[in-house]
């Protein structure tokens, strides 16, 4: 069933030389994460798989468009959350596009690695990845000959991860993907420029930020967010769960303070504090732009939804081979990610359908009036 779902996506995008056999073998290899994709596909060596990723003509961005349409058709929800985050891919050597010694969240330390920036789509029925970009450090973009050897065109310049995040959300808006919220961790949420752009587009968001970020208040144009909460009355803090974690519910104390006193009557700006129950000195901060009637509990839910992208990374790597590749060139990286994301989207939709079926079988029939 999952194989049929995968073949729904992008089958007309592949050149004839790729062939349906290669497509099915590639996706089968991705889904079961073999030692190498070639072994799982039954080939004597990796040449055929490498040829599909590096030489056969097909447009990874067009296939990704098909993935997004498939996700929207099956999981689309106007209350969905778009989540931006990046993940690392450990690599050896210096020839893989974008590789350098850099901090990798995957390893939890500085390692020789590539970094991909991703956009996840999260709804009540499932969550999956719908966009991707390979981050190219200046050690690459300043060396055009090195870029050419890795298949990176001269038109591709350095972009920060925040710029990549902006581009992915803009594309989601342009493609009319239904969603209501955007969220990201502090590496992205700290960008005042991006928050302002989202606000100008009237895109609601809950963005993590650092304690050193500043906001406009009645008292100052650059009020530090950490200075808003000392002395806040005890009753303003609410103990709430922001979702399930690896060790059970993630419970914190939460409070919010309204900022930006000059705004539309039907919109509000908030700074939100999340305080550890066991260590009250450990406080994280968020900045929110939302409808005026949005409750604190709703904002907590959006802040907590950011962990959905971590779940996507984990399942896509474990079950779909997101990090199991040997390609070095820039186009090959995007092709591999696209096919792994295709497999992940299919599995997510299949699971949603199974849950729908189970619910229909267990729910009592409605009584006729």
Mean pLDDT of 125-141: 97
**Cα–Cα nearest to 338, from 5, 47, 9, 1:** 9
| Distance separating alpha carbons of residues 173 and 162, to the nearest angstrom | 17
Q: What percent of the chain has pLDDT over 70?
A: 82
Listed by start position, the domains of the chain span 186-305
- pLDDT for position 11: 56
**Rounded to 5°, angle at Cα 124 from 123 and 129:** 35
Q: What is the pLDDT of residue 26?
A: 43
Q: How many CB atoms lie within 10 A of CB 216?
A: 15
d(CA 69, CA 345): 11
DSSP 35-97: SSHHHHHT-SSSHHHHHHHHTS---HHHHHHHHHHHHHHHH--TT-EEEEEEEEEE--SS-ST
173 backbone φψ class: left, alpha, beta (φ>0; ψ -120 to 50): alpha
pLDDT on residue 83: 98
- What count of Cα atoms within 13 Å lies in the side-chain half-sphere of residue 352? 20
Determine the 3-state secondary structure of 204 from DSSP.
strand
Distances (CA, A) of 98 to 140, 152, 159: 6, 10, 12
Per-residue pLDDT, 106: 81
pLDDT (mean) for 261-265: 79
What is the reported pLDDT for 13? Answer: 56
Mean pLDDT of the 81-101 span: 96
Q: Which residues of 269-290 are buried (b: 16+ CB within 10 A; e: fewer)?
A: bbbbbbbeeeeeeebbbbbbbb
What would the mean pLDDT of 272-277 be, rounded to a whole number?
Answer: 97
pLDDT in tens, 9-61: 655 555 444 444 444 444 444 343 434 444 544 555 555 555 555 556 789 99
Taking residues 107-116, report their average pLDDT: 92
The CA-atom distances, in angstroms, between 342 and each of 8, 17, 27, 65, 321 are 10, 20, 8, 11, 11
Distances (CA, A) of 285 to 61, 154, 192, 307, 364: 35, 40, 14, 16, 44
Q: Which residues of 27-52 are buried (b: 16+ CB within 10 A; e: fewer)?
A: bbbbbebeebbbebbeeeeeebbbeb
Asked if pLDDT for residue 110 goes beyond 70, the answer is yes
Mean pLDDT of 342-355: 95
> Whole-angstrom Cα distance, residue 14 to residue 66?
12
- Considering the chain, what is the average pLDDT of its residues? 87
- pLDDT digits 0-9 by tens, 300-331: 999 999 999 999 999 999 999 999 998 999 99
Per the CB < 8 A criterion, the answer to whether 7 and 339 are in contact is no
Q: How far apart, in whole angstroms, are the C-alpha atoms of residue 43 and residue 23?
A: 14
Tokens of 171: 């594309």
The percentage of residues in the chain with a pLDDT greater than 90, rounded to a whole number, is 73
Q: How confident is the model at residue 262 (pLDDT cuts 50, 70, 90)?
A: confident
Residue 121 in contact with residue 127, Cβ under 8 Å? yes
Q: What is the DSSP secondary structure assignment for residue 226, as one 8-state letter?
A: G
Q: According to the model, what pLDDT value does residue 342 have?
A: 96
């Amino acid at each position: 069933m999952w194989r049929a779902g995968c073949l729904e996506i992008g089958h007309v995008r592949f050149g004839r030389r790729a062939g349906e056999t290669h497509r099915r073998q590639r996706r089968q290899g991705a889904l079961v994460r073999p030692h190498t994709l070639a072994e799982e596909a039954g080939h004597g060596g990796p040449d055929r798989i490498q040829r599909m990723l590096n030489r056969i003509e097909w447009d990874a961005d067009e296939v990704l468009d098909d993935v997004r349409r498939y996700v929207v058709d099956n999981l689309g929800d106007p209350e969905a959350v778009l989540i931006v985050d990046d993940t690392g891919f450990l690599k050896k050597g210096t020839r893989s596009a974008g590789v350098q010694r850099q901090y990798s969240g995957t390893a939890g330390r500085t390692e020789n690695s590539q970094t991909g920036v991703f956009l996840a789509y999260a709804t009540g029925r499932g969550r999956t990845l719908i966009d991707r970009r390979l981050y190219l450090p200046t050690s690459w973009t300043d060396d055009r000959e090195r870029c050419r050897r890795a298949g990176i065109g001269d038109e591709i310049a350095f972009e920060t991860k925040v710029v990549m995040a902006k581009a992915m959300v803009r594309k989601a808006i342009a493609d009319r993907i239904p969603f209501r919220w955007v969220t990201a961790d502090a590496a992205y949420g700290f960008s005042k420029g991006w928050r302002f752009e989202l606000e100008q587009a009237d895109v609601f968001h809950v963005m993590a930020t650092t304690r050193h970020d500043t906001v406009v208040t009645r008292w100052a144009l650059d009020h530090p967010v950490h200075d808003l909460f000392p002395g806040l009355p005890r009753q303003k803090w609410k103990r709430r769960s922001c979702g399930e974690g690896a060790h059970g519910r993630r419970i914190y104390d939460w409070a919010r303070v309204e900022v930006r006193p000059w705004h539309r009557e039907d919109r509000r700006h908030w700074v939100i504090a999340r305080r550890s129950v066991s260590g009250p000195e450990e406080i994280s901060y968020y900045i929110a732009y939302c409808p005026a009637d949005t409750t604190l509990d709703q904002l907590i839910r959006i802040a907590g939804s950011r962990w959905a992208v971590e779940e996507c990374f984990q399942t896509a790597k474990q079950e779909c081979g997101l990090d199991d590749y040997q390609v070095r060139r820039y186009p090959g990286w995007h092709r591999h990610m696209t096919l792994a994301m295709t497999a992940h989207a299919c599995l997510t939709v299949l699971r949603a359908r199974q849950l729908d079926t189970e619910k229909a079988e267990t729910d009592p029939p409605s009584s006729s009036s």
